[in-house]
Amino acid sequence: MSVLSFGCRLNIQEGEAIRAHLAAAGLQDTLVVNTCAVTSEAEKQARQAIRRLKRENPQAKIVVTGCAAQISPDSYAAMPEVHRVLGNAEKLRADSWMHQASAVGDIMAARQPETLPEEPGQDFRQRPRAYLEIQQGCDHRCTFCIIPYGRGPSRSQALGAVVERARKLTDQGFREFVLTGVDIVSYGGDLPGRPSLGQAARRLLNLVPGIERLRFSSLDPAGIDDDLLRLYAEEPRVMPHAHLSLQAGDDLILKRMKRRHSRDQALRVAESLRAARPDIALGADMIAGFPTEDDAAFMRGADLVDEIGLAYLHVFPFSARQGTPAARMPQLPMDLRRARAAELRRRGEAGLRRHLAQRSGKAASILVEQPGLGRDETYAPVKLTGIHDKGSVIATQVLAARDGGLWLEAA
């Protein structure tokens, strides 16, 4: 029995829910591949994993689920190694694991988020931080993105259920939490009273005092409102770290991506976050080589990395996804996409080095992730001396940025 999850934190968290369902159903001979559909490379890796798992475990039954399976169930069902396919909604239902048939429903008809198991799996309990799924799906249609067709419309978890799960996890010793979903800034739009993400997070912290540190997964700049900015400014338990879904830094490319923010708006959001929390570290997702991106457009995006002062950069060479509008646009050569991605990563690494240098000599609160390694409040990687329990939070003094600026060493 094992679960191999690809892609985002949400998928990884749901993998732990699947593991709990497998254990409850007693499916010791079942191997699950929880796929991602963000890029063609992610799907390629999933298919390679399916074949490898079957070679290594010829008697095992392989179940494929996740976004790629939801979008293209027949293609995975046709693989001789695959026993059955489950959709993204079905994979989180306990009764799906009691049967042997494939089941992939119409995710676009979903109106409620699936309920996660009451108790997290053993692997979840061994992680240093807890992930709280508060939202599912996305109502936007960025031209490059296939994920709404794998996740369905935006659906919010009722805050009461989130609070109850958080209480159980704090009782189990978790001290840092991450609120996650597909488009978490849209949280609450489908709930009574339409609570915003900032309002919901404030109530969560008030109702669960055992949460010592709170982070957010990727934030769409267009959805960062005054409630969220006030929370960053007023609540010390919210960590000074935000990861923005920027994707590009040129207005024409952003428009062709059908993003909801402009270059100037991205700069203003970054300025507002820094005004609310002067010690904040910012990260972002960026796509390199989007269709029709010329040299000037690319440089405006690369310069935005420096202008915002991004400390963490996730870069993806553009990957055309069948069924999206961007796949029908004039494509750039893959070599050019990769070269532009390398340049963005170079700028991101320089931004990280600058951030780490600024942390040198300052006091820090570190979440221990594994022996000798942790993360400070700004999500900077920390090299620790001494012996500390995974998941514990220690106060220390940062000594220096070392090893090319990629690690901090703390006493």
Average pLDDT over residues 287-307: 97
Write down the pLDDT at residue 395: 87
Return the residue matching tokens 């399916």: 50
> Rounded to the nearest 5°, which phi and psi values hold at 284?
-165, 155
Average pLDDT over residues 372-399: 88
- On whether the CB atoms of residues 177 and 130 are closer than 8 A, the answer is yes
Q: How far apart are CA 379 and CA 356, in angstroms?
A: 10
Write down the pLDDT at residue 177: 96
Structure tokens that stand for 376 in this block? 């400070």
pLDDT over threshold 90, residue 20: no
Most confident of 25-39, 40-54, 175-189: 175-189
Q: How far apart are CA 183 and CA 166, in angstroms?
A: 20
C-alpha to C-alpha distances, 346 to 246, 293, 318, nearest whole angstrom: 17, 19, 17
Res. 411 pLDDT band, cuts 50 70 90: low
Weakest-pLDDT range from 4-13, 231-240, 272-281, 321-330: 4-13
Res. 331 pLDDT band, cuts 50 70 90: very high
Average pLDDT over residues 276-302: 97
What distance lies between CA 117 and its chain's CA centroid?
A: 20
Weakest-pLDDT range from 27-36, 220-229, 309-318: 27-36
Q: How far apart are CA 350 and CA 342, in angstroms?
A: 12
Q: Which residues contact 305 (CB under 8 A, 6 or more apart)?
A: 249, 284, 286, 313, 344, 347, 348, 351
pLDDT over threshold 90, residue 276: yes
Write down the pLDDT at residue 116: 64
- On whether the CB atoms of residues 229 and 367 are closer than 8 A, the answer is no
Q: How far apart are CA 242 and CA 239, in angstroms?
A: 8
Cα angle: 182, vertex 199, 233; to 5 degrees: 100
- On whether the CB atoms of residues 362 and 408 are closer than 8 A, the answer is no
pLDDT over threshold 70, residue 120: no
The per-residue pLDDT for range 137-169, each reduced to its tens digit, is 999 999 999 988 989 999 999 999 999 999 999
The per-residue pLDDT for range 191-216, each reduced to its tens digit, is 999 999 999 999 999 999 999 999 99
Write down the pLDDT at residue 111: 82
Weakest-pLDDT range from 13-22, 149-158, 316-325: 13-22
pLDDT over threshold 90, residue 405: no
Average pLDDT over residues 386-401: 85
C-alpha to C-alpha distances, 241 to 2, 179, 284, 407, nearest whole angstrom: 33, 13, 11, 17
pLDDT over threshold 60, residue 236: yes
341 Ramachandran zone, left/alpha/beta (phi>0; psi -120 to 50): alpha
Higher per-residue confidence, 160 vs 399: 160
Weakest-pLDDT range from 143-157, 200-214, 283-297, 397-411: 397-411
- On whether the CB atoms of residues 184 and 216 are closer than 8 A, the answer is yes
> Rounded to the nearest 5°, which phi and psi values hold at 195?
-65, 140
DSSP calls for 284-333: EEEEES-TT--HHHHHHHHHHHHHHT-SEEEEEE----TTSGGGGSPPPP
Q: What is the DSSP letter of 121?
A: -
Pairing of the two strands 241-247 and 30-35: unpaired
Write down the pLDDT at residue 121: 52
pLDDT over threshold 80, residue 65: yes
Single pTM value for the model: 0.90
